[in-house]
Amino acid sequence: MSSETKQILTTDGIPLEVSLKKAEKKNKIKAFLLVAPLLLFLIITYIFPIGEMLFRSVDDRMVTNMLPKTFKAMEKWDGKELPPEEVFEAFYLDYKFLVEEKTFGKLATQLNYEKNGFKSILKKLQRKMKKFEQGNYKEQIMNVHKRWANVEYWRAIKRRAPDITYSKYLKAMDMYENEDGKISQVSEDRRVHRILWLRTLEIAFFVTILCFLMAYPIAHLLATLPMKYSNLLMICVLLPFWTSLLVRTASWMILLQQQGIVNDFFVWIGLVGEENRPEMMYNKTGTYVAMTQILLPFMVLPLYSVMKTISPSLMRAGKSLGGTPFVAFWKVYFPLTIPGIGAGCLLVFILAIGYYITPALVGGASGTLISNQIAFHMKSTLDWSFASAMGLMLLTGVLVIYWIYNKLVGVDNIKLG
Amino acid sequence: MSKNSEFVKFDKVDKSYDGKVLVVKDLNLDISEGEFITMLGPSGSGKTTCLMMLAGFETPTNGEIYLDSNPISNIPPHKRGIGMVFQNYALFPHMTVYENLAFPLKVRKVSKVEIDKKVDKALSMVSLTGFENRMPGQLSGGQQQRVAVARALVFDPAVVLMDEPLGALDKNLRESMQYEIKHIHESIGVTVVYVTHDQGEALTMSNRIAVFNDGKVQQLSSPDKLYEEPVNSFVAEFIGENNTFQGEVSDISNGKCKVKLKEGEIVANPINVKSKGDKTTVSIRPERALINPSQKMDNNYKGKIEEVIYHGDHTRVRLNVLGNSEFILKVPNSSQNIDIKLGNTINISWNSTDARALDPK
């Protein structure tokens, strides 16, 4: 068919499509140049760091590069018995080089992640190594500490041979690859991360619900009140928005602490006794209260912008056609606000799932989220690759939620304003 | 079948929004069953407020509204059983045409079979059969309008209110919809209360028209009477075109009066003037003043043509008559109007019965 359709020419005889492309080329270049700074900015500050994060979370070349000879010698070792003399010799040579370069500390840290107890025996080895004689390194190393004669430690070293590893992801799920290469769970008393993941989801979910329940009537009032009242109310909604996050969180600390204003008030009206003031901070309650208040505008604004576009005559029509006020609301008004609800909930949930400062300040031990754990590993343990792995898992989670939302409601239905 | 002439009754209804200004003042209005009544008036005249009070979205500040002899002020809108067509249709955008029409039936717990039947009937009435599964957004303005009308009628309400339903349509569509609504009204005999500010619409559609101004009904009568016999200068001014002269009654006798103008004097029909010395506005419809009439008339003057505007089927001529340079004549587009040229002076006449001496402006 397409070959039969006649090519349309301009008056000058140039094919129309060619002419059109030429005419639009300049505009396209202009448009591109306009967005180029932003594009560049995004690549530098967003896409590149995410790529870097992904890489860092699986990158395991550090140990590989530090023990090249060892890993080469280990290729032939089956891992069942203690490794042969060549492996010990190679390890001795690699480690000697690292000691000379003064980078052996890093190896100790890395191997200690893999198996506890490496740090001390590596330090001991470094001290004793100076007196080592040539040959029979297996014997000499095993004499330094009895752990060196334990095959588990050598297996631990071998596990670090590959360039990439997914062990950080397993760790984030409280799992690890055991000596036999099987994935198994860590002992029960050390399963901290899974609790954090679940708590993060739980808090984000309930904060979203709370925000929705509170924001819906406010947004409705904002959209229907006469201008002079709605402006005032809008300022009330936005005022916290213009205040620093830290200030708001700090004021919640003043309000919620045991000797704080809210507790004083409860005692004063006789709701609780002076002795048993409830703890509302440094636990989940504090996180819920503060996060809901802080994230409320993100729910109000999309809802408001959608409600603003719903003509009041629709509700009237619903009523005049015989619907009770509730039916008119539920069948007419509510379905029309769904795009706003979707946008608001998605926004609040995604913000809540990665919330950091507020839970860190008011959450205490039982109110912290996964992002606090990420920050902990970024700042304190300096295990950046683990932090990256958890960050990426969080990002993937958000993308999955977005995808589910798209399947259920359709992203086209989102309306932010 | 005896028809209730007080099917809808506004009894001394006042309405104020702020406690300072009355939007509707002492409204008394009886609407008989099956009637097509139009509330006509400029914006802010209180006509929409009246409609909203009848629909139940506003409560009267004073007085009572009766529907079929029952007071309805305390009945919420959804229990009044009054259909309403809104200015911007107010079709539910998330529902199909079928669902829109089924809504009033569903809330009344009508069976599915019955709903299908009624929706079919209502759609065929507005000639939209086959559009059941369209969304309102996929329909043209005129089609949306018809769906809105069908939805207001589908549950067989006793009264249907229409709030400027044709305001958003273009001129041609508006005219054809006027006839369509009129025909629907005639065929099902429902009582219609129609609000508009378009006098042409009011004149073509209604049995009776209530002209609103300043919160009051200025005149309530049939379209022809309203046009031919306006009772005051507001109605004369608002309905149709109108040539006016300001003057003072110098003599009144035998159902005629003489009105002295700044220049000259005219003989008029005394409507709102009682005695000599009353100030008055004399109103003459443009088509009632004729050029060189064959019959004898009791007002004959000369006028100078100041402007000629061609309108296709007629020509409008602006004259200077008796010191009024805004005097408009409508001349039918036939062969005899040869001497209509700018600057010419022509003889014009009218009967004193058509020159209505009304209240002064």
Domain count, chain A: 2
Full strand arrangement of the beta sheet holding B82-85:
B82-85, B159-163, B191-196, B36-40, B208-213, B216-221
Q: Is the pLDDT of residue B84 over 60?
A: yes
Per the structure, the complete domain to which residue A231 belongs is given by 193-413
- Cross-chain Cβ contact A316/B57 below 8 Å: yes
CA distances, A180 to each of A82, A110, A177, B148 (Å):
15, 20, 8, 73
Q: Average the pLDDT over A193-220 and give the result.
A: 93
CA of B142 to nearest chain A CA: how many angstroms apart? 18
Distance from C-alpha of A191 to C-alpha of A214, rounded to nearest angstrom:
35
pLDDT in tens, B189-228: 899 999 998 888 898 899 999 999 988 889 999 999 888 8
CA of A411 to nearest chain B CA: how many angstroms apart? 17
Give CA A269 to chain center in angstroms: 42
B104 touches chain A (CB under 8 A): yes
| List of chain A residues whose C-beta atoms are within 8 Å of the C-beta of residue B88 | 311, 313
Is A280 a member of any domain? Answer: yes
Distance from C-alpha of A103 to C-alpha of B319, rounded to nearest angstrom:
108
- Cross-chain Cβ contact A316/B81 below 8 Å: no
Q: Chain B residue with minimal CA distance to A313?
A: B90
User: What count of CB pairs under 8 Å joins A to B?
Assistant: 68
- H/E stretch holding B149 reads helix B141-153
Is A263 a member of any domain? Answer: yes
Q: Is the pLDDT of residue A1 over 50?
A: no
A140 and A206 fall within a common domain = no
Is A391 a member of any domain? Answer: yes
| List of chain B residues whose C-beta atoms are within 8 Å of the C-beta of residue A316 | 55, 57, 77, 84, 86, 90
Give CA A87 to chain center in angstroms: 41
Is A56 a member of any domain? Answer: no
Is A37 a member of any domain? Answer: no
pTM of the model: 0.77
Distance from C-alpha of A371 to C-alpha of A361, rounded to nearest angstrom:
13
A143 and A210 fall within a common domain = no
pLDDT of residue A259: 86
Percent of chain B residues past pLDDT 70, beyond the cut: 98
> Which of A163, A182, A204 is where one domain is finished?
A163
A157 and A216 fall within a common domain = no
- Cross-chain Cβ contact B107/A325 below 8 Å: no
A286 and A358 fall within a common domain = yes
Which of A196, A194, A203 is CA-nearest to residue A370? A196
The tokens describing A268, both together, are: 């004063």
| List of chain B residues whose C-beta atoms are within 8 Å of the C-beta of residue A311 | 88, 90
Residue A64 — pLDDT band, cuts 50, 70, 90? confident
A305 and A213 fall within a common domain = yes
Q: Is the pLDDT of residue A114 over 80?
A: no
- Cross-chain Cβ contact B93/A317 below 8 Å: no
| List of chain B residues whose C-beta atoms are within 8 Å of the C-beta of residue A332 | 92
A144 and A217 fall within a common domain = no
A250 and A362 fall within a common domain = yes
CA of B5 to nearest chain A CA: how many angstroms apart? 24
Q: Which of A311, A320, A329, A412 is most worth mutating to test chain B (most B CB atoms within 10 A of its CB)?
A: A320
Domains and CATH numbers, chain B: 8-233 (3.40.50.300), 241-358 (2.40.50.140)
- Cross-chain Cβ contact B151/A321 below 8 Å: yes
A389 and A295 fall within a common domain = yes
* ipTM score above 0.95: no
Distance from C-alpha of B149 to C-alpha of A321, rounded to nearest angstrom:
12
A126 and A267 fall within a common domain = no
A158 and A229 fall within a common domain = no
A286 and A224 fall within a common domain = yes
Widest CA span of chain B, in angstroms?
A: 75
Q: Average the pLDDT over B351-356 and give the result.
A: 87
pLDDT of residue A416: 58
- Cross-chain Cβ contact A322/B94 below 8 Å: no
Is A297 a member of any domain? Answer: yes
Q: CATH number of the domain that A336 lies in?
A: 1.10.3720.10
Is A144 a member of any domain? Answer: yes
A157 and A198 fall within a common domain = no
Is A404 a member of any domain? Answer: yes
- Cross-chain Cβ contact B78/A324 below 8 Å: yes
Q: Which amino acid is at B331?
A: V
